[in-house]
Amino acid sequence: MAGGRPRSFDSDAALDRALEVFWRQGYEGTGISDLTKAMGINNAPSLYNAFGNKEQLFRKVLDRYADGPARYIREAFDQPTARAAVETLLHGAADATTDPDHPRGCITVQGALACSPGAEAARDELTARRAAGETALRERLRRARSDGELPAGTDPDGLARYFTTIYQGIAVQAAGGASREHLHQIVDTAMTVWPRPADA
């Protein structure tokens, strides 16, 4: 029941700065000193006190990412149709991965694709989050088939894997410098796979 010395920095703003660094440099490419510098924290103990160790901070940064730059993903699943959901998801990815206000690409993809044994926990966390996205899309497409939006003959699981692959490919393309316009064209091409109703 006491106050204690107040924090000298804003936690959410600091997390945003940390997100930028992890996003740009990846988990292993980011040092604690990079983080404290970017976050406006003068010394390591303050960081550890506020956010735990590097791995815990990384998870908090990922949550912040989901609530911020990657918010379009949740909005995609709020769309009335599965097709609109996928379109919102992929075009949103094209925009988000080339946003000039943020590093290129997607932290979930480039944060730790391959890493040393010491960073496997971070890598596994990212793998799990990507898998969760694919699962959510699969459930949405299954529902679309139940609802009749997708023809009875279609394979929603395969379709989910396909669009997830597009999504992740876009992230790699963006990291490599692809233009936003080109990414949107890729999405348009990818969407032509969408099953047509068997209007016989």
Partner DNA sequence: CCATATATTTAGCAGTAGCTACAAATTCTG
Partner DNA sequence: CAGAATTTGTAGCTACTGCTAAATATATGG
- The residues binding a copy of itself (CB under 8 A) are 23-26, 28-31, 34, 103, 105, 107, 109-111, 113-117, 119, 127, 130-131, 158-159, 161-162, 164-173, 175-178, 182, 185-186, 189-190, 192-193
Residue with tokens 């044994």: 117
Instruction: Kindly tell me which of 50 and 95 has the beta carbon lying closer to a copy of itself.
Output: 95
- Binding to DNA by residue 50, rule CB under 7 A? yes
Three-state DSSP class for residue 22:
helix
Residue with tokens 């924290």: 41
Residue 93 has phi, psi (to 5 degrees) of -65, -40
Instruction: Kindly tell me which of 9 and 95 has the beta carbon lying closer to a copy of itself.
Output: 95
In the set 54, 102, 138, 145, which binds DNA (CB under 7 A)? 54
User: How far apart are CB 176 and DNA at their closest, in Å?
Assistant: 23
How does DSSP classify residue 118? G
Choices 1-9, 79-87, 140-148, 174-182 (CB under 7 A): range interacting with DNA: 1-9
Minimal CA–CA distance to 44: which of 23, 35, 25?
35
Instruction: Kindly tell me which of 15 and 159 has the beta carbon lying closer to a copy of itself.
Output: 159
- Binding to DNA by residue 49, rule CB under 7 A? yes
List all residues 6 or more positions away from 41 whose beta carbon is below 8 Å from its beta carbon: 9, 14, 35, 47, 50
Instruction: Kindly tell me which of 122 and 144 has the beta carbon lying closer to DNA.
Output: 122
- Binding to DNA by residue 114, rule CB under 7 A? no
Max CA separation in the chain (angstroms): 74
CB of 88 closer than 8 Å to CB of 167: no
- Cβ-count burial 74-96 (b if 16+ within 10 Å, e if not): eebeeeeebbebbbbbbbbbbeb
Instruction: Kindly tell me which of 55 and 63 has the beta carbon lying closer to DNA.
Output: 55
**Binder of residue 2, out of a copy of itself, DNA, none (CB less than 5 to 8 A by kind):** DNA
Three-state DSSP class for residue 154:
coil
**Binder of residue 94, out of a copy of itself, DNA, none (CB less than 5 to 8 A by kind):** none
In the set 12, 42, 120, 139, which binds DNA (CB under 7 A)? 42
